[in-house]
Amino acid sequence: MAPPSGKRVKGLQIFRPFVYGTTALPFDDKTNPRPDGIPDDHTHSWTVFVKGIDDVDITYWLRRVQFKLHESIPNHVRMVEGEKGKPFAIHETGWGEFEIAIKLYYVPESGEKPQTVYHHLRLHPYGRTDEEKETMRLNGGEVISWVYEEQIFNEPYDAFYDILTSGAVPPPPSKTTTASSSSGGTTGGKGKSAKEKEKDKKEQQQMLLHRSEGGVLERSAMIPLTNRPGQPFSRETEQVEVKKLKDALVKVEELSRKVTEDLKRKEQRLADLKADAAKPV
């Protein structure tokens, strides 16, 4: 593919948050019955996905995703084309865990080459303690292994920059809608009728309200303010992680102080013993 014509925006980086990972659920006659025709040795149904944070659309920068599954799975290389507002996802059943190669293909305007991330399909929770294992389970018993990532576009082409910044707008009311009529532009007002201005104002209010509820806006780099069911990546989670790191640092400093004190005591003892040994008898 020829690179897009036009210049790059020098000295500028734009990032977009996204989430990828796997969700697995063991077969169970009551809650997750094995579908007809699935081999007896299959124990789980699972999904691998790439999606926007808070389920916002990302197809304006990500065009398609190739998932390379384990060779034991029929037709193991799968290409998923972007559908506005929907996750890129593959649903499968199986018995074993393996590494999935997830190749991201960007929109042509970006001029970016595809890039691969790797993700381990988790069917079984792991951890040193039961508590740690439980953090991998959602309420319904699903085993989740999800990763927050940020896609960085370094010095994007002009046309792509325009796409990326064409407006932070609230997600459409139903997240599955196929086309958003909003142009994304909320600025201006010149030459607009009173009715259009009123519409703009409403959109802006809706946008602020949505953000104040903690959600993110479409075509933005925002992350939610708080956690919600199925949405564990937020400023709240970030704060919890920061606190964990701070607490760990305090512990490390305390340990290091103790070791240093111990060392000093031992050095002193050694010096005393040496001095003793040097005394004439």
Q: Binding of ligand SLL at residue 126 (CB under 6 A)? A: no
User: Which of 96, 185 has the CB closer to ligand SLL?
Assistant: 96
User: Which of 45, 110 has the CB closer to ligand SLL?
Assistant: 45
For Cα atoms 212, 147, 242, give the angle at the middle one, nearest 5 degrees. Answer: 65
- Whether 45 and 27 have beta carbons less than 8 Å apart is answered as yes
Q: Binding of ligand SLL at residue 96 (CB under 6 A)? A: yes
Q: Which of 55, 97, 109, 142 binds ligand SLL (CB under 6 A)?
A: 97
3 burial (CB, 10 Å; 0-12 / 13-18 / 19+) is: exposed
The distance of closest approach from Cβ of residue 215 to ligand SLL in the complex, given in angstroms and rounded to an integer, is 36
Q: Which of 3, 98, 246, 270 binds ligand SLL (CB under 6 A)?
A: 98
- Residue 60 gets the label, from left (phi > 0), alpha (psi -120 to 50) or beta, of alpha
Please state, in angstroms and rounded to a whole number, the distance separating the CA atoms of residues 257 and 244: 20
User: Which of 46, 233 has the CB closer to ligand SLL?
Assistant: 46
Q: Binding of ligand SLL at residue 123 (CB under 6 A)? A: no
**Count of residues near ligand SLL by CB under 6 A:** 8
The distance of closest approach from Cβ of residue 88 to ligand SLL in the complex, given in angstroms and rounded to an integer, is 20
User: Which of 57, 97 has the CB closer to ligand SLL?
Assistant: 97
The distance of closest approach from Cβ of residue 187 to ligand SLL in the complex, given in angstroms and rounded to an integer, is 52
The distance of closest approach from Cβ of residue 72 to ligand SLL in the complex, given in angstroms and rounded to an integer, is 4
CB atoms within 10 A of CB 7: 11
User: Which of 97, 109 has the CB closer to ligand SLL?
Assistant: 97
Nearest to 219 by CA among 159, 160, 163: 163
Q: Which tokens hold the place of 173?
A: 């009311």
Q: Which of 35, 79, 83, 95 binds ligand SLL (CB under 6 A)?
A: 95
User: Which of 39, 173 has the CB closer to ligand SLL?
Assistant: 39
- Whether 113 and 104 have beta carbons less than 8 Å apart is answered as no
Q: Where are the beta strands (DSSP E) in the chain?
A: 13-26, 44-52, 62-68, 77-81, 88-94, 99-106, 115-120, 143-154
Q: Which residues bind ligand SLL (CB under 6 A)?
A: 70, 72-73, 94-98
